Structure 1
Amino acid sequence: MNNILEIDLDRKLEIKINNEKPVALKDLSLSLLSFNHQFHKFIESETERDLDVGSELLIKEVRKGSIIVELVSQAAPIAPLLWEGGSLAQWASVVEDTCKWLLGKSDTPPKDYTKQDLQEWNKFVEPVAKDQGSQMNINVSDGGTVINNFTINSTEANAIQNQVAKKIEQLDTPEDHIHKMKVMYWYQAKFDTDSDTGNRAIIDDISKNSLKVVFENLAVKEDMLHPPASFDKPWHELAYLVDVEVEAVRGVPKMYKVLRYYPEHTFNPEVE
């Protein structure tokens, strides 16, 4: 059974899915829509900003064992002039290079990708990833002459999706875990100055939950334990302005490491 995506622009681009099982309509639709959106973004990024570029997938023909659609674009007369092999050949190269990057066969992606972009590449290979033994063949030809041709099998499609999940997790985790000048107040405090256990605090700007607190060094902890004498409350009932490093597990904050605190900004949280 073959599902065929045929795009007739300046060249012919065909995506053939050789599937072992019937392809779910939702998976195929999301795959085609994701492919279309990525092509549209590619054309937009490579043309002038004031150029009105639009593209959409139109179902051209449905028959037993085949689905044929066309990608039409307002940029069709212009886009082919940007590349020697035409826009479809260039786009197919981007698709191939993206797949190679997600398969670990190259170190850098052909373009910068956002979280949404990665999610769409995940959807693009979904029909093949779900069907063990299937494969997707992408072919660009000009008058019967093959310009570009490559294949993604179900094992590779699954590997692509696994890599997409890892890269999205990396995007969700900020590179800089240090948050400066945040208000912290104690939820639970242990009065043993030599112990880092039993101390929990809340920083509303980061998490509404109380998290474990440790200190980068004892000097920072000793300073916080001795707030200005003008307060009539013990240290663990005051609010502090601190710099903290946030330790997270699977993107969820789990622990604060207090790096510095600003004694001049200490205040009583019960006083407005």
Structure 2
Amino acid sequence: MNNILEIDLDKKLEIKINNRNPVALKDLSLSLLSFNHQFHKFIESETSKETEVSTELLIKEVRKGSIVIELVSQAAPIVPLLWEGGTLSQWSNIVQGICNWLLGKTNNPPKEVTKQDLQEWNKFVEPVAKDHGSQLNIIVSDGGTVINNFTINSTQANAIQNEISKKIEQIDEPEDHIHRRKVMYWYQAKFDPNSETGNRAIIDDISKKSMKVIFENNAVKNEMLHPPEHLKKQWHELAYVVDVEVETVRGVPKIYKVLQYYPEYTFDPEDE
């Protein structure tokens, strides 16, 4: 049984899902919509910002054993771009390049890929990944002459999804950065040496917001919460110089880990 997505012109792109089991409507819909969105993003990247682009998937025919769907561009300026410039073939090369990258055949993707892109490519191969022994064929032809033709079988589709999961985990992992001798002042603190909650501080040079603070060891925390008596100020009224490891998620600071405290540099921020 074949599910066919095609652009019904001399030059056309077909996606054929040769499946052994019935394809769930939700999986097929999300697969085709994800493909359509990626194609739309590609077309936008190939046109000027002033060009208004609209592409969509339209169901052309439903019959026993097959579903025929057209990928249609509603923006007239796109037509010469697609057919005269060979962009459709270029797009299929990008799809193949991304699949090869996710299969470990190449070191880098053919274009920058975001987390959302990865999620959509995951949906695109879902119908094949779920159906053991099935395969997906992507074919670009010009007047009957095949320009590009590549296949993704169910084993490869599963491998692609596994790699996507790993790459998304890497995107979500905190990145560690060490900042030396930064001025920190307390926002709130908990005087329980065994607790890692309730401690928040501000380092203006990194972020104006207070963030959770953890410590390399309890001795550092205890020393910072009991400043030298000669300063004649409470712990929360002083500024401290520290080395911190800043854990960020997607570039946003989330946690300060105090690695070292320099008591000799502790000062009253109100002093001139």
Please say whether Structure 1 and Structure 2 have the same fold, judged by a TM-score greater than 0.5: yes
Written as runs of structure 1 = structure 2, the 5 A alignment for 1:53-72 is 53-72=53-72
2:227 matched residue in structure 1? 226
Instruction: State whether residues 79 and 87 of structure 1, in contact with CA within 8 Å, keep that contact through their aligned partners in structure 2.
Output: yes
Structure-1 residue corresponding to 2:216: 214
Whether 2:270 is the aligned partner of 1:263: answer no
Cα distance in structure 2, aligned partners of 1:139 and 1:132: 22
- 1:30 Cα deviation from its structure 2 partner: 0.6
Q: 1:124: how far off?
A: 0.6
Distance, in Å, in 2 between the alignment partners of 1:248 and 1:51 is: 37
Counterpart of 2:29, as a letter, is S
Please tell me whether the aligned partners of residues 227 and 266 of structure 1 are also in contact (alpha carbons under 8 angstroms).
no
* CA distances 1:217-256 after superposition (whole Å, capped 9, x unpaired): x8998677535744554x5x7786655314699xxx7882
Structure 1, unaligned stretches of length 5 or more? 191-197, 268-272
In the alignment, is the contact (CA less than 8 A) between 1:60 and 1:69 conserved in 2? yes
Deviations along 1:168-189, one digit per CA (max 9) or x if unpaired, are 2222235454577665543344
Residues 230, 102 of structure 1: alpha-carbon distance in 2 compared, 3 angstrom cutoff: same
AA aligned opposite 1:50: E
Q: CA deviation at 1:139?
A: 0.7
3-state DSSP of counterpart to 2:152? strand
Match of 2:196 among 191, 197, 200: 200
In structure 1, C-alpha distance between the alignment counterparts of 2:233 and 2:176, rounded to whole Å: 37
Counterpart code for 1:126: E
SS in 1 for 2:190: strand
Aligned residues: 251
- The C-alpha deviation readout for 1:180-200, integer Å capped at 9, x for no partner, is 76655433444xxxxxxx363
Partner of 2:111: 111
8 Å CA contact 1:183–1:239 kept in 2: the answer is yes
The reply to whether residue 32 of structure 1 matches residue 38 of structure 2 is: no
Structure 1 position 36, deviation (Å):
0.4
The residue matched to 1:146 in structure 2 has which SS?
Answer: strand
CA distance in 2, matches of 1:164, 1:207: 31
TM-score (norm 1): 0.77
TM-superposed deviation, 1:95: 0.1
Q: Once the 2 structures are TM-superposed, how far is the Cα of residue 21 of structure 1 from its aligned partner?
A: 1.5
Moved more, 93-102 or 109-118: 109-118
